[in-house]
A and B are shown apart, each in its own frame.
Chain A
Amino acid sequence: MTTYNPRYAGTVTKYVFVDSPEMTPSDLAIRAYEISQGVMIKETCFGLQVTGREDDVNRIIDLLRALDPSHIFVKDRGFSPGDPRRCRANLGGARPGYFGHEFEMGLIRNISKGLESLPSRKPGDIPHPPAPSTAPRLDARDLKKIIESQES
């Protein structure tokens, strides 16, 4: 049994993802470095990770979000950047959570579209999105008709 002593206790890490025609992850990183004031910034293929005291991290994130609000997305991360327990270099392959990001980033432009449209289309006027259970099944009588038409 080995005792565990955490590093970076008391910090938070947040992912900042960018998928924008106006801005690349490295553009975002440059802007982040300019305002970082000692907060740790780590560039990734999707955007950034920002690590530091919660207030500092939130301040930077608010400033970054304002650059391109509909195309910048933020979420919390449990680990600090480069943690050997999650790092691809140590695991041989990506940590499982990476695939989840890859999946959501594949459709994030739809979300961006939704965010862009908010000022012009009031949420109350937009229909509720399709739910899985509402997809209608073929009526048995219709199926019967199809079968009969095939038989004749």
Chain B
Amino acid sequence: MAKVFLYPTTSLILSDLVARFGHSPLSAALQIRERIQTPGLESPPLQITPEEPKKGLKWAAVEVPSGVRGRMSLYGPMIDEAEAAIIINNADFSFGCMGCARTNELIKYLVRKRDIPVLDLEYPRNEEEGVEFVAAIKRFLDALHGGSA
């Protein structure tokens, strides 16, 4: 079973397919859950405190906006942990966790910089592309360690 980084990390489709085909999706929800379930100082809504943008300094310099660094404190550890990644490149309407284009550019770059298998896709526009999309993900996941290939 491989840990697969998803882009967008909030994607229902990717999260479902990765789990369905027997691997472990690294989704934003897991990072948020960890914060929501850990006691500390109150910082609604996401329990991301002003300390998190400082942790984000590991992935982005101090002159990078706080929102980028705060988001990187969520995604940085996931990217470091990932054994493979699936990227949907036209995810233009992913808000909130994926709401910042600069963070998203940095995430994709850091994923590509790691020496892990990456599958690049676009959202399917019709049923035939849907068939190709699902098949491509299945092929990709089956070839990973713990996959069925």
Contacts and interface: CB of A to CB of B under 8 A. Distances in A.
Interface of A: 1-6, 8-13, 15, 17, 65, 73-79, 83, 85-86, 95-97, 99-101, 103-105, 107-115, 117-118, 121, 123-124, 126-132
A131 B33 CA distance: 33
**Interface size band for B:** 35 or more
A78 B93 contact: no
A130 B129 CA distance: 8
Contact of A6 (B37, B41, B126): B37
20 contacts: A6-B36, A73-B12, A77-B33, A78-B32, A78-B46, A83-B36, A85-B44, A100-B8, A103-B94, A104-B13, A111-B13, A111-B17, A111-B133, A113-B130, A114-B130, A117-B134, A123-B135, A129-B133, A129-B136, A130-B122
A108 B14 CA distance: 11
B70 to A, nearest CB: 14
Interface in B34-73: 35-47
Nearest to B130: A110
B131 A117 contact: yes
Given A77-B29, A110-B129, A132 B10 contact: no
Interface of B: 8, 10-13, 15-17, 19-20, 25, 27-33, 35-47, 89-90, 93-99, 120-127, 129-136, 138-139, 142
Given A128-B136, A129-B124, A79 B131 contact: no
- 4 nearest A-B residue pairs (beta carbon): A114-B134, A78-B32, A110-B130, A96-B96
B30 A17 contact: no
Name, among A4, A5, A9, A118, the residue most crowded by chain B CB atoms within 10 Å (CB to CB): A4
Given A75-B11, A75-B16, A113-B131, 15 more contacts: A2-B41, A75-B12, A77-B33, A78-B30, A96-B97, A100-B94, A104-B11, A114-B130, A114-B135, A117-B131, A118-B138, A123-B135, A123-B136, A123-B142, A129-B129
